[in-house]
Chain A
């Protein structure tokens, strides 16, 4: 599809303005029986003309090649175009049968046998086979591919050595395709969250023949072939993606949208305006300014829930005085999380004293760090700086952002007040900030971490010695041993207990000061069905639909609730 708007002529503008005026006029009138909806919903509530769903993708994806994708927008596009062995339940994110219709697990939990659905096809008509999955996963692991998420598959036998180039023979990697419909995965240890990984975008299959023919450019709309519920119809960088329903998708009958339009709008105010005007039907979490949350809270569009992400300060432990565990404890205990979350951020976030977020099924967080200035001063005295005397100046590093600065100023004031230590704030733009934290050239830095799968391991494994995401220089053999033991443990209860102990150690001695628990804050139009609030902010969009009758439905629900047989206006 070409951009139909090239070569604008003035009469065309006037005409279209007139058309827009006419089109808007009737929509402004609230239908009978729904007069209350005028205040209940934010902005325009007229459904789109066809079965078309529009949303803001946020930043332009760097790539939507699933094997290389790294960001959230990248993943959202990849998940529309491709489907993995399993797919997420839209509400719970539990794995549902996807391209595999069933799977078996060996008793030791180390071997998974996936049985592919008969008759599944790529969008070009070729059958989807087990060797497509094997080739894709090997592609993710191949060092030449340089996949950022290759580590996701390191639990597969020999995957890590294959990825770092020491093992050359791909047949020794624990991936087999004995026939077209059977895919066997052998793991080094029983990974309890392995099925969650099979729906993650890194594990989505890619068409070998297209990738080999077009190289880096295989994802362009002219070349791309997928096995998902939608195909890519149009793409313009920094503008929009348009997806159309894939008739070859195995479950096409449950796909009710004809088209999905995903705009790449990176300005948060603009994103908010477009939602209000009804140009986008869904404004995902994080895509409108957080200062607006108190303003939109009364509207029914606003959805709010826990998000598996934590905002924290990390401490670089390589030089004095921060190498001293007593100093770290003092810093941790003198941060008043409640004041930050409730006063500074107006309750839009939840104060959080743990490193792993809440809500992992089966995991019980240990007691978190609490604000206790008396204890904090005691720790500081034990470290040899009573009342902060002789404590060298430390610097809080933030990346440039108004919110980060406000929080840093609050913490600076808390440390000065409770501990009497001199604190400075330094802000750097994103690239420099990443370089500084990676090179351990900082004292205390703002950081945040987002879970990839529903298990605390996605957080706790970051602080293994030398892990690339550790970035503090902290290393403790006891901690490493616990995380590794948990990975080998078959019994879920014992495994979580080990992880819990590891988190306790991390909170007590480690280099992190948790501050708040992220939450999702999104806006959804009343006529959009099938988008649910989920803890990972992953939203399977393939089964979303547009409810043209939402007002009638809302009115009848209201009527039922008030138990009055009110006449219902039917359009």
Chain B
């Protein structure tokens, strides 16, 4: 099957999936009690009526639904109810680069640090290096980021005033959130890389390569690496979508103006348009990334066919 045909088929699945997600989200958020204009201090009835009318919330639900679908198809989610001076699209486009930058650094760190550790541990199987690095990796996977973040802040930002304890303001402010976000990924990637490499290093074709008299670095890097790294690749795809779309915990701890914070607050605020916009964006992003990973797979492993 050709690559173009494969992509076309996948896109044809993505569209109805998005529609199902959009529909579910639309009706679920409407089912939640309260509404976007509910506040502790009462709004005069006339004002509330005007607000509902202004945003079309006084129309029957099915009409609102159709209206929403038509606009969503054009990537227009309307204005945020909570922040009336902004469009949902603007908010997403402003917050995405922040989350993506934070996630990008974390992801890069995960690959650049995690993969070499995993490979070395696999090559030095059952050595001190292997045990030490896997011990640390196990700790890294186990410590949740809502513990790691405050501990790093306590040590590096408050114990000594080396780095700002939070905020997205200046390059030094990136260090702690990136470290916090990436640690678990570094550790997990290292474990995956080690596992993958170990399995491959015991296969027949590696023995053959060694028997041919190839130097060990060539065996590891040229022959084993491409296959041994596959578990990492298949993990990185969904992980990338998650990590690039923003981490709610890390963004809150470090007050990072990314997508994760908006998503949580939007749900609490019943900011219908912002919730829908974010959920659809997230879903679409995830599916496109998965598609990209499937394509990357075929490039790495010639045995995998597009289907």
Q: Does B34 contact A (CB under 8 A)?
A: yes
A13–B47 CB distance below 8 A:
no
Q: Does A238 contact B (CB under 8 A)?
A: yes
A263–B167 CB distance below 8 A:
yes
B105–A217 CB distance below 8 A:
no
Closest chain A residue to B270, Cβ basis: A431
Known A5-B173, A238-B257; contact A277-B47, beta-carbon cutoff 8 A: no
A8–B157 CB distance below 8 A:
no
In the bound assembly, the distance between CA atoms of A239 and B255 in angstroms comes to: 7
Q: Does B40 contact A (CB under 8 A)?
A: yes
A269 neighbours in B (Cβ, 8 Å): 150, 253
In the bound assembly, the distance between CA atoms of A12 and B175 in angstroms comes to: 11
Q: Does B184 contact A (CB under 8 A)?
A: no
Closest chain B residue to A46, Cβ basis: B161
Contact with B along A161-180 (1 / 0, CB 8 A): 00111000000000000000
Known A143-B46, A165-B46; contact A432-B33, beta-carbon cutoff 8 A: yes
CB distance from B20 to the nearest CB of A (A): 25
A20–B172 CB distance below 8 A:
yes
B43–A148 CB distance below 8 A:
yes
Q: Does B303 contact A (CB under 8 A)?
A: no
Of B40, B94, B158, B270, which is within 8 A of A237 by CB? Answer: B94
A150–B47 CB distance below 8 A:
yes
Known A239-B257, A431-B34, A434-B39; contact A146-B163, beta-carbon cutoff 8 A: no
Known A432-B32, A432-B33; contact A17-B39, beta-carbon cutoff 8 A: no
The residue in A8, A16, A144, A164 that gathers the most chain B C-beta atoms within 10 A of its C-beta is A8
A237–B166 CB distance below 8 A:
no
Q: Does A436 contact B (CB under 8 A)?
A: yes
Which residues B195-238 have CB closer than 8 A to chain A? none
A279 neighbours in B (Cβ, 8 Å): 164-167
A150–B167 CB distance below 8 A:
no
Contact with B along A274-299 (1 / 0, CB 8 A): 10111100000000000000000000
A146 neighbours in B (Cβ, 8 Å): 43, 46-48, 50-51, 54
B38–A438 CB distance below 8 A:
yes
Contact with A along B73-115 (1 / 0, CB 8 A): 0000001001111100001001100000100010000000000
A63–B164 CB distance below 8 A:
no
Q: Does A557 contact B (CB under 8 A)?
A: no
CB distance from A5 to the nearest CB of B (A): 5
A216 neighbours in B (Cβ, 8 Å): 79, 84-85
B167 neighbours in A (Cβ, 8 Å): 239-240, 263, 265, 274, 279
Q: Does B194 contact A (CB under 8 A)?
A: no
B270–A273 CB distance below 8 A:
no
Known A146-B51, A146-B54, A238-B95; contact A219-B164, beta-carbon cutoff 8 A: no
B44–A237 CB distance below 8 A:
no
Known A239-B168, A240-B169, A279-B165; contact A17-B175, beta-carbon cutoff 8 A: yes
Known A239-B257, A279-B167; contact A17-B157, beta-carbon cutoff 8 A: no
Contact with B along A2-17 (1 / 0, CB 8 A): 0011101000110011
Contact with B along A189-229 (1 / 0, CB 8 A): 00000000000000000000000000011111000000000
Q: Does A49 contact B (CB under 8 A)?
A: no
In the bound assembly, the distance between CA atoms of A391 and B182 in angstroms comes to: 56
Interface size class of A (residues with CB under 8 A): 35 or more
A263 neighbours in B (Cβ, 8 Å): 167, 255
Stretch at the interface among B11-19, B116-124, B261-269, B288-296: B261-269
Contact with A along B31-60 (1 / 0, CB 8 A): 011110011111111111111001000000
A431–B162 CB distance below 8 A:
no
Closest chain B residue to A471, Cβ basis: B42
CB distance from A410 to the nearest CB of B (A): 23
The residue in A13, A65, A436 that gathers the most chain B C-beta atoms within 10 A of its C-beta is A13
Known A148-B41, A277-B157; contact A267-B253, beta-carbon cutoff 8 A: yes
Which residues A1-56 have CB closer than 8 A to chain B? 4-6, 8, 12-13, 16-17, 20-21, 24, 27-28, 43-44
Which residues A396-435 have CB closer than 8 A to chain B? 428-432, 434-435
Closest chain B residue to A23, Cβ basis: B161
Known A265-B255, A270-B255, A274-B167; contact A468-B84, beta-carbon cutoff 8 A: no
CB distance from B255 to the nearest CB of A (A): 5
Q: Does B252 contact A (CB under 8 A)?
A: yes
In the bound assembly, the distance between CA atoms of A237 and B94 in angstroms comes to: 9
A143–B47 CB distance below 8 A:
yes
A436–B33 CB distance below 8 A:
yes
CB distance from B260 to the nearest CB of A (A): 10
B45 neighbours in A (Cβ, 8 Å): 164, 468
Q: Does B171 contact A (CB under 8 A)?
A: yes
CB distance from A59 to the nearest CB of B (A): 9
Interface size class of B (residues with CB under 8 A): 35 or more
Known A277-B165, A432-B32, A435-B38; contact A236-B174, beta-carbon cutoff 8 A: no
A5 neighbours in B (Cβ, 8 Å): 168-171, 173-174
In the bound assembly, the distance between CA atoms of A143 and B85 in angstroms comes to: 19
Of A24, A151, A435, A469, which is within 8 A of B161 by CB? Answer: A24
A165 neighbours in B (Cβ, 8 Å): 46
CB distance from A324 to the nearest CB of B (A): 27
In the bound assembly, the distance between CA atoms of A56 and B157 in angstroms comes to: 18
Q: Does B68 contact A (CB under 8 A)?
A: no
CB distance from B280 to the nearest CB of A (A): 20
In the bound assembly, the distance between CA atoms of A28 and B162 in angstroms comes to: 11
A265–B166 CB distance below 8 A:
yes
Contact with A along B129-153 (1 / 0, CB 8 A): 0000000000000000000001001
Q: Does A62 contact B (CB under 8 A)?
A: yes
Closest chain B residue to A19, Cβ basis: B172
Known A17-B162, A277-B165, A279-B164; contact A270-B44, beta-carbon cutoff 8 A: no
A274–B34 CB distance below 8 A:
no
Q: Does B185 contact A (CB under 8 A)?
A: no
B91 neighbours in A (Cβ, 8 Å): 237
A468–B253 CB distance below 8 A:
no
In the bound assembly, the distance between CA atoms of A265 and B253 in angstroms comes to: 9
Closest chain A residue to B157, Cβ basis: A277
B163 neighbours in A (Cβ, 8 Å): 17, 20
In the bound assembly, the distance between CA atoms of A279 and B86 in angstroms comes to: 28
B269–A8 CB distance below 8 A:
no
A150 neighbours in B (Cβ, 8 Å): 44, 47
In the bound assembly, the distance between CA atoms of A220 and B172 in angstroms comes to: 28
In the bound assembly, the distance between CA atoms of A264 and B48 in angstroms comes to: 27
Q: Does B254 contact A (CB under 8 A)?
A: yes
Which residues B233-257 have CB closer than 8 A to chain A? 252-255, 257
A12–B165 CB distance below 8 A:
no
Closest chain B residue to A60, Cβ basis: B83
- Could you give 30 example pairs across A and B, Cβ below 8 Å? A5-B170, A8-B105, A13-B174, A16-B171, A21-B162, A62-B82, A144-B54, A146-B47, A146-B48, A146-B51, A146-B54, A150-B47, A217-B85, A219-B85, A236-B94, A237-B86, A237-B91, A238-B95, A239-B257, A240-B169, A266-B252, A266-B265, A267-B252, A267-B255, A273-B158, A274-B166, A428-B33, A435-B38, A467-B42, A469-B41
Point out residues on A near B: beta carbons under 8 Å: 4-6, 8, 12-13, 16-17, 20-21, 24, 27-28, 43-44, 60, 62-63, 65, 68, 70, 143-148, 150-151, 163-165, 216-220, 236-240, 263-267, 269-270, 273-274, 276-279, 428-432, 434-436, 438, 467-469, 471
Point out residues on B near A: beta carbons under 8 Å: 32-35, 38-51, 54, 79, 82-86, 91, 94-95, 101, 105, 150, 153, 157-158, 160-175, 252-255, 257, 261-262, 265, 268-270
Q: A63-B85, A237-B91 are in contact. List 17 more A-B contacts (CB 8 A).
A: A5-B169, A8-B105, A8-B174, A27-B161, A43-B158, A148-B44, A150-B44, A150-B47, A151-B44, A163-B44, A239-B168, A265-B167, A273-B158, A274-B167, A431-B33, A431-B34, A467-B42
